[in-house]
Amino acid sequence: MYTFALKTCKYSRGNKVVYQLIVNDKDEFSKFENKYGTKQYRSLLLRIGTRIENLSKGIRLPAGQISNIFGVEGGFEIKADSLRVYYLELQNECLIICMGGLKKNQKKDIDRFKRITKELQKQLKDGKKFEFHE
C-alpha cells in the first residue's frame, strides 16, 4: 500500500503543471536527481529537465526522447542516453513524475512504475486528496 503526496516540479513552466510524486514520504524524482547529479550524468539530467519543461508547455518531443509505457494508460518514459524518467500524464492537464533510473534497470523500474501508477490511479478514482509539499 502506497501513500502519496505531490510537489511542484522546478521544470514546470507551461499550461500543464508538472508534479513530483512523493511515495511513502520519499520524493522519488529528487532522489533520482541526487543519485545521478554526478559529473558523469549531470549533462543528461540537464537534458531531461529541459525535455520536461517542453512537455509542460505542450511541446511534442521526438520519438527518440519519449515513448509510451505499454500497459499504463498515460504512462511515458523520457529517455536521455542511459537515463530514464517515468511519468504519468493525467487528462492532458498535468504530468506526475513518478521515478527515474538507469536504462539497464528498465525492466525492474517499469514494473515498479506499473505498481505505483496502478495504486495512484485507484486512489485518484476513489477521490482521494493528496498533500502538497513545498
Partner 1 sequence: MEKNLNSMSREEKVEEITREELLRSPEYWEEYIKIDLFNIVQDYLDENKLSRKELADKMGVSRGYISQVLNGDSDHRLSKIVTFALQAGKAPCIYFRDLNKVIEDDRNGKNAIPDFDKLEQSLEFKERFTQFISLDAMSRQMNLGFSSHLKDGRVKEEDEIVYDEQGFSYSLEQKKQMSDAA
- Enumerate binding residues for partner 1 (CB under 8 A): 10-11, 13, 30, 33-35, 37-39, 42-43, 45-47, 49-51, 54, 57, 59-65
Residue position matching grid coordinates 517499469: 110
DSSP H helices, the chain, are 28-35, 39-56, 106-125
Yes or no: say if 76 and 96 are a contact pair by the CB < 8 Å rule. Answer: no
C-beta of 120: minimal distance to partner 1 in Å?
A: 25
C-beta of 19: minimal distance to partner 1 in Å?
A: 17
C-beta of 36: minimal distance to partner 1 in Å?
A: 8
Nearer to partner 1, 41 or 117 (CB): 41
Dist. CA 10–CA 25, nearest whole Å? 19
Grid coordinates standing for 35? 543519485
Nearer to partner 1, 30 or 121 (CB): 30
